[in-house]
Structure 1
Amino acid sequence: MGRELHVAFRTLGKESDMKAFVRIAGCVAALWGCAVWAQEDYRPSAERAPGNLEPVQVDEPKKSSKRADTGLYAQLGGGAEGYTGQLAPRLDAGFTYGGAIGYRPLGFLGVELGYNGSVNNVDIDGNGRAGSLGEGADVVRNGGQALVIGNFTDAQLQPYAVTGIGIDDYNIRHDAVGREFGFNDDTSGYVPAGLGLRYQFGKLITADARVSYNFLFDQDFAPTSATPNALDGRYMGMLQIGGTY
């Protein structure tokens, strides 16, 4: 009887130990699972491991297809103007001014409509001794022109060539004295040919330096002693500031 009780107590003890071990293992597994869940969940998405992040597609900003040196532009400026050939001794160099509106559809090509004017004094005898027609400017010129511009490069610094056609209106001040010396109001045409250098400051501001020679159709506003030719023309140098839009 005593032996049977001893065996029964030993069997009961082993069952109790087994149950205790199972309980402990279950608690450890539960604690481990909670710890892992807490470690993965409590952190902000920015701090999580890269492997846990979902790929995010970022749209790159669209680049404008418009070039900085194309489009509509406007500019204003001033400079100096004088005459050549038979006209040079009779007209002193003077101040010129103007403005233009143009459009460049391509980096290498542009078209332009412009206004330019000038004020000059007359040298009555052509040798600088007899003076001018009177006080102030003797000849006031107003002109308009249509131009085609071809750029040699499409870089920030752009040399270019220009040609086209224009028309001038000459107004002789002190007209009574002017007619006495052969100067008269007149309207005539011309063909400009020139070279220029444009610099683009960013996407808006433009500086433009241009020199041109104008082949005059006629020179009836001033007296000439011989048949006019291509050398009896007008030169111009102008610096203009503007913008591209």
Structure 2
Amino acid sequence: MNTQNLNQPHRRYNALTGDWILVSPHRTQRPWQGQQEKSAGDERPEYDPGCYLCPGNTRAGGASNPDYTAPFVFTNDYAAVLPDGSALGFEGNDLFRAEGVKGTCRVICFSPKHNLTLPEMPVDSIRAVIDVWAEETTELGKTHRWVQVFENKGSVMGCSNPHPHGQIWATDSLPNEPAKEEAAQKAYHDAHGSVLLLDYLAMELERKERIVEQNEHWVALVPFWAVWPFETLLLPRRHVLRLPDLTDDERNAQADILKRLLTRYDNLFEC
């Protein structure tokens, strides 16, 4: 691949979704006088009696948390999707279409300590979080088509509580982005007889231009088709279909690389 002209405006193809991404490298030199998010710089206590996620406290929905000492999971009191779903639906019109959705939303508290972030936790504690992610994926995957674990961090990203926690959502339908990624990977395999992300990873490791962190089992890199500033993609070095399929060593290595990668983000955003 000739990269000599990549400093000029161009489009990059996202092989995972089929989308084309506009890239304008020269615009990074423009002066910026817009808004800048400042670090809160607050000192949080290890336990906050007013926090509805801390051990022993009452949640917003009225239930009380146990005195948990490890990752704690509960059903979201204000879930985005509900198990009984909805009968909503418009039929016979191609311009106004809607349908009900069923699902489950759970919250995972990474740690009982209110003043930590995930990368500030010991590697073995992060490993415990990964194990819970895998367990929840297995359980919810039996009755739902899609299970996703994620974390919105910081108030600017819509996080309503600074206590270290994430979300686990399961739905009966496949969201847009995973659906496009599934179709693209199947089409690539049909055309080439190999795994798209493994082929892509091999090329990135050869170029060594966008590698952020790596260890024996994982590589964190900036994808060629990145849209967001500081966007990274975490890839296993072998073909793994689901979180529960990770070996013991791979889970330990994932905890290690998550700690290193997320520490970079914490330092970058001073959070």
Shorter chain as denominator, the TM-score bin is under 0.3
**Bigger share in helix:** 2
**What's the TM-score, normalizing by structure 2?**
0.24
Name the larger-Rg structure. 1
**What's the TM-score, normalizing by structure 1?**
0.26
